[in-house]
Structure 1
């Protein structure tokens, strides 16, 4: 049996944060016939994920986590879902495995300029686990290239799309955010620590009070991965709520990086976009084609 065949058979630990994506990924793994275990992060995973979980583990219970991985024979780890709450490490007091590794954990999390998620990946890899991404196990959840729904961008939309794309490239270079909005030929919003949803809400408010003067159905939200981003974690994601907020902000559409962004609840997301008259399109970094090319 080849190394690729063995890798395909490896049991995966699906470590689940908040949102609906963990269940979608679990469904995709089921469909692919992959063997996996779901580990819900206490205080983050929603009720549906918790009902499917084989274990629920809190912050600071790293020793218990590694014990579960060892007991269940998981050699691959997939981190999926958001983390919105401040980690609570009070459980560390009762977890000998965490205490034993504490010097290594502190060094890993404190050192260097890498993102927190990159450091978490390193912790797993130091223990001998292989950290995988969506592209490795459920690539069908990623945005493909081209128009994804029924609505197509108009000529003016391409100008806003390309402008917002350039803005996301600058944001990524500074490691600030993954998204930007351009309306009427100018960038009107950049994503910061507040996240995409709050940025869209801010854009809607700016339109409401007249700070952004544009006709309805104008402007484009662009979401891309940061340059050199580890695509195993923290992928740009759009879903049904993104559509609702983009519609409330009066935008014409949304562009995401093909093969580098997740379309959560794809059927519902695209159905909502079609009903709202919003385009959703997958673009290739550095080569956002114009009208007639998609």
Structure 2
């Protein structure tokens, strides 16, 4: 049976909410936002992935491939809605998967998807498996809409003309990368793409840019921009581009002028702390519309 019991009410007319929690602060923010709305969210903390405490919330810790344990808990607790949040660093090996009766027949397809497809395809598979448990999968922005990036600068700093040109190049690169279902981010410096996000994630990409700059492969005279966008085919219910104070810190270490994320389709965590860090570092953070000239920035 699931562990520590919370004391909030049983939840929502569409069924109780479950939060599948991976790495990072987003799952905790969603749990707190749901509780503030009078819900009693149930936390499914993924073993070796979830890295924050959920004190006071009802919680179960399961392996990322243990579908049977997840379905059992969902059935017992009358879960109706599920939100997937946080990062997952390692895909389960086929031997880690604990299927439900409903998924046994689809196991060859599940294993092939895990082994040979991009993140978006895998997330679509996971959504279908959860829906097969009789639940509705919803997006993080439906629980905490205030986390969505808004159009325009978030702090005191704004992009210059050179920065806007780097943003435009970064948008092209991020969209191309997204079409290939590889990543969501790119760094453009002086009108040249110098890094694109792979499976290592944004922070590791920014570390790579910092090392390239230290090694003289990137001019010290040109700063550059990080651009993060949804993949063109992305389902808004999973893996929205996310930035927080650590993104600002890593962008500053990489010598960048700023960060541009997709307004209305990216999440901003700890906004006040992020803005404070960006202003202190002298870099801009802004929401853009990639379909508009200059990203919709004046």
Compute the TM-score of the two structures, normalised by the length of structure 2.
0.87
Task: Indicate whether 1:220 and 2:222 are aligned.
Answer: no
Quote how far apart the aligned CAs of 1:53 are: 4.6
SS at match of 1:204: helix
Cα distance change of structure 1 residues 36 and 181 upon mapping to structure 2, 3 Å threshold:
same
Quote how far apart the aligned CAs of 1:60 are: 3.9
Task: Indicate whether 1:238 and 2:243 are aligned.
Answer: yes
Quote how far apart the aligned CAs of 1:16 are: 0.5
Cα distance change of structure 1 residues 47 and 115 upon mapping to structure 2, 3 Å threshold:
same
2:285 to 271, 280, 288: 280
SS at match of 1:48: coil
**Is the CA contact 1:39–1:56 (under 8 Å) kept in the aligned structure 2?**
yes
Question: Take 1:176 and 1:60, find their aligned partners in 2: how far apart are those partners?
Answer: 22
Question: Take 1:169 and 1:101, find their aligned partners in 2: how far apart are those partners?
Answer: 33
The root-mean-square deviation of aligned C-alpha atoms, in Å, is 2.5
Quote how far apart the aligned CAs of 1:101 are: 3.5
**Is the CA contact 1:179–1:222 (under 8 Å) kept in the aligned structure 2?**
yes
Cα distance change of structure 1 residues 177 and 288 upon mapping to structure 2, 3 Å threshold:
farther
Task: Indicate whether 1:131 and 2:137 are aligned.
Answer: yes
Quote how far apart the aligned CAs of 1:174 are: 1.8
Question: Take 2:47 and 2:57, find their aligned partners in 1: how far apart are those partners?
Answer: 13
**Is the CA contact 2:41–2:58 (under 8 Å) kept in the aligned structure 1?**
no
**Is the CA contact 1:154–1:291 (under 8 Å) kept in the aligned structure 2?**
no
1:268 to 269, 273, 279: 273
Q: How many residues align?
A: 284
Question: Take 1:209 and 1:260, find their aligned partners in 2: how far apart are those partners?
Answer: 35
**Is the CA contact 1:183–1:214 (under 8 Å) kept in the aligned structure 2?**
no
**Is the CA contact 1:164–1:220 (under 8 Å) kept in the aligned structure 2?**
yes
The residue aligned with 1:143 is 149
Cα distance change of structure 1 residues 125 and 200 upon mapping to structure 2, 3 Å threshold:
same
**Is the CA contact 1:181–1:188 (under 8 Å) kept in the aligned structure 2?**
yes
2:45 to 40, 45, 67: 40
SS at match of 1:25: helix
Question: Take 1:176 and 1:134, find their aligned partners in 2: how far apart are those partners?
Answer: 21
SS at match of 2:87: coil
Cα distance change of structure 1 residues 70 and 82 upon mapping to structure 2, 3 Å threshold:
same
SS at match of 2:80: strand
The residue aligned with 1:104 is 106
- The range that moved more, 45-54 or 22-31, is 45-54
Quote how far apart the aligned CAs of 1:138 are: 1.4
The residue aligned with 2:256 is 251
Task: After TM superposition, list the pairs within 5 Å mapping 1:1-294 onto structure 2.
Answer: 10-49=15-54, 52-87=57-92, 98=100, 101-110=103-112, 115-215=121-221, 218-289=223-294, 293=298
**Is the CA contact 1:184–1:214 (under 8 Å) kept in the aligned structure 2?**
no
Quote how far apart the aligned CAs of 1:59 are: 3.4
SS at match of 2:23: coil
Quote how far apart the aligned CAs of 1:281 are: 0.4
Quote how far apart the aligned CAs of 1:212 are: 0.9
Cα distance change of structure 1 residues 246 and 53 upon mapping to structure 2, 3 Å threshold:
farther
Question: Take 2:264 and 2:51, find their aligned partners in 1: how far apart are those partners?
Answer: 27
Q: Which consecutive residues of structure 2, in runs of 5 or more, have no partner in the other structure?
A: 1-10
